[in-house]
Structure 1
């Protein structure tokens, strides 16, 4: 299981490309470079562009194309939540040269739409294989639906890719129509599905609290109207039987404290968010009838 500390460390890491001169400057001779390539410790992405053999497929593809990961692809590489990763998004300077295939460096880039090229330069270090986090996040907002964009911003805040002070810069790079998303952002959300659940529940017009600590239970994802707990379960953390047993213990503890608990999976929130809304609405109506 990946911890929050490990997730934040991944979010801060920026893979870098090196030239032949860079490799020589750090002590690698011709024979050493050749052996590193043979053993997969180094990858020649394109002419005079070398990457560590341990870099992800996406980073290596960006190197072969002749750019760096940008937009939602850069966010995915940092571990930030993106609901639909879709095509590879690459940043290439406006004066960039001939682009190569992501899978074969000797072939030109096909015009089949499999790669989305953002022709711009955001000022990131020339050797960086990821776009500037602020500019990259702003571009990711433009390439997603509003709800998915808010979930990505929340995730970037939680992981420390950007901070609250950076949000002004992010929204300054966006057209004015995106300003309506700013009040919806909440960096306390620990997962994208949690953000999507919170946004879906807004239609009920009841307060939705985030990451609430309940005595005798611990921290829960969301609390609606002060008494309905919503837990967003993911396959990563809830597939083991031991984890499911612990979930049941927490549910019983919540019931003992007077809370109703609704559990929903990430897939449900992606495909059928209305099911969660209707379930919580039903509980609210039952609660109102009992009070009446």
Structure 2
């Protein structure tokens, strides 16, 4: 990932810009003056400009959100500052500063992605942090080897979480549900294709389908009709389908975990292998065996 960078006044002059041209570009809005002697193109994302105007780099959940990586919350601006930085502007109370040395270049306006992901694990907590790493892996923004680099940067107490990362998760809620199923001791497969039904998020113990629905992909009537048809086709083959809502998965996880426990450990539990064959399918970067 290439980080956008500011250009200094001196660099602009060396590129052939005159003082009049620079002033005119700033007045017209095509060039933005971040701080004294530091400029970026006006097309640069506003959050990146905000971080640069403070003398830092966009970092942590703010950078991940910009890149399309799952984060649980991104209301506050997270900015990385070099430890040796001085004479910085005053920061608004809503800015979350992260002081650390970085491999980023002096003019870079994005923090290093590996550093940002490690920071996000600390800031968000283990469950959401793993979901962010899963998301970056699924989007192919990082490799499996770079996941190791993320956890190498974290305090030792976080390193046991490395084995929980799984790039087959296509959304943050899927990661949350996977961790719940694991904690419940359930045997599950992710991204499974069932003949006559299609691909499902989870197949638990060979008979329970768990789907993670979001407003973005399941709010229209047409989408809901499609879901009902899939559920009916699954029921005809003996599968039970449980649909979970993303908002409840993320913000009421105890309620969702209780519901899953009730279904998995309830009287409807069946012997594995009694249902039609399924085809495992994984559209993301890394596939993990069923646990």
Q: Which has the higher helix share?
A: 1
Q: Kindly state the Cα deviation for residue 201 of structure 1 after the two structures are TM-superposed.
A: 2.2
What is the match of residue 183 of structure 2?
203
SS in 2 for 1:211: strand
* Offset from partner CA, 1:66-105 (integer Å, 9 cap, x none): 01012222222222111022432211112212222xxxxx
- Residue 262 and residue 131 in structure 1: after superposition, are their counterparts in 2 closer, same or farther (change >3 A)? same
- Residue 28 and residue 248 in structure 1: after superposition, are their counterparts in 2 closer, same or farther (change >3 A)? farther
Alignment map for 1:71-150 (pairs within 5 Å): 71-100=60-89, 108-110=90-92, 112=93, 114-150=94-130
Q: Kindly state the Cα deviation for residue 251 of structure 1 after the two structures are TM-superposed.
A: 1.8
Aligned equivalents of 2:191 and 2:55: distance in 1? 42
Alignment map for 1:1-292 (pairs within 5 Å): 12=1, 14-26=3-15, 28-100=17-89, 108-110=90-92, 112=93, 114-284=94-264, 285-288=266-269
Q: Kindly state the Cα deviation for residue 26 of structure 1 after the two structures are TM-superposed.
A: 5.0
Structure with more contact order per residue of length (Cα contacts < 8 Å, sep ≥ 6): 2
Q: Kindly state the Cα deviation for residue 38 of structure 1 after the two structures are TM-superposed.
A: 3.4
Uncovered stretches (5+) of structure 1, i.e. residues with no partner:
1-11, 101-107
Aligned equivalents of 1:81 and 1:135: distance in 2? 16
Aligned alpha-carbon RMSD (Å): 2.3
SS in 1 for 2:225: helix
Q: Kindly state the Cα deviation for residue 157 of structure 1 after the two structures are TM-superposed.
A: 0.9
Uncovered stretches (5+) of structure 2, i.e. residues with no partner:
273-291
Aligned equivalents of 1:38 and 1:164: distance in 2? 46
With 121-130 and 163-172 compared, the bigger mean Cα shift is at 121-130
Aligned residue pair count: 271
With 138-147 and 17-26 compared, the bigger mean Cα shift is at 17-26
With 181-190 and 211-220 compared, the bigger mean Cα shift is at 211-220
What is the match of residue 105 of structure 1?
none
With 81-90 and 33-42 compared, the bigger mean Cα shift is at 33-42
Q: Kindly state the Cα deviation for residue 117 of structure 1 after the two structures are TM-superposed.
A: 1.7
Aligned equivalents of 1:227 and 1:24: distance in 2? 68
- Residue 196 and residue 37 in structure 1: after superposition, are their counterparts in 2 closer, same or farther (change >3 A)? same
Aligned equivalents of 1:39 and 1:265: distance in 2? 46
Q: Kindly state the Cα deviation for residue 25 of structure 1 after the two structures are TM-superposed.
A: 4.9
- Tell me the TM-score normalized by structure 2: 0.84
